[in-house]
Amino acid sequence: MSSRQTLSSSSQTAASRGGCLIRFMLPPIAAVCIGALLMVISLSTTMDPVFAKNQKSEASPAISPIFTPEVQYWASRIQVWATAAGLDPNLVATVMQIESCGDRGALSRSGAIGLFQVMPYHFSAGDDPYKPDTNARRGLDYLSRSMDAAKGNPRLALAGYNGGIGVIGMRESTWANETQRYVYWGSGIYAEAAGSAYESPRLQEWLVSNGTYLCRLAHNRLGINP
């Protein structure tokens, strides 16, 4: 009789005695019953509210649904980058939204580069400024420093990101017009994202004002289907 047939015969014998793993010659008090063990596992994973909560949390999106598809494309990376920088993923997504709309190849007239529109002098020798991980690391390091200087105030941190950390201690009325506009768009979008909104009037306003063209470039570069 083959070993497979022997195993089958032994399994049938075990099944006739209740399906327990007595083949392993464990003491009766330590014998483990497969059916009972599976039932315990099934009940614990189904009924444990902590387990259910954790499963739900893992399935949750990394960023708010208000952001455009081009930014959503980077959602999982945004979560990783934000965690590494100690920042709220929705704040990181807000900066990406108004800086590049997710266009990794973006280049501004002032020379700002990539997803987070980082100025060239923030990169080290040997850096590829268009590489998403590198661009994020340099850009979010500056955003993190801005947040520290702003003592956790995201509005002021956004001003520092755009106008330089030095503007954080200045009166808003002295900020450059570009910085004032940047803070208007960014603080509004971030507030709606952080507030669990399902749509963002401020983001729609930004798109109408100057964002649609930026997002079209990102859309084409990323190859997102219409």
Q: Which residues are catalytic?
A: 99
Q: Are 94 and 193 in contact (CB under 8 A)?
A: yes
Cα–Cα distance measured from residue 164 to residue 157, given in angstroms and rounded to the nearest whole number: 9
Sign of CA dihedral 113, 118, 120, 126: negative
Q: Is 113 helix (H, G, I), strand (E, B) or coil?
A: strand
E-strand spans in the chain? none
Full 3-state SS string of 193-221: HHCCCCCCHHHHHHHHHHHHHHHHHHHHH
Give me the phi and psi of 41, to 5 degrees please: -60, -45
Ramachandran region, residue 68 (left: φ > 0; alpha: ψ -120 to 50; beta: rest): beta
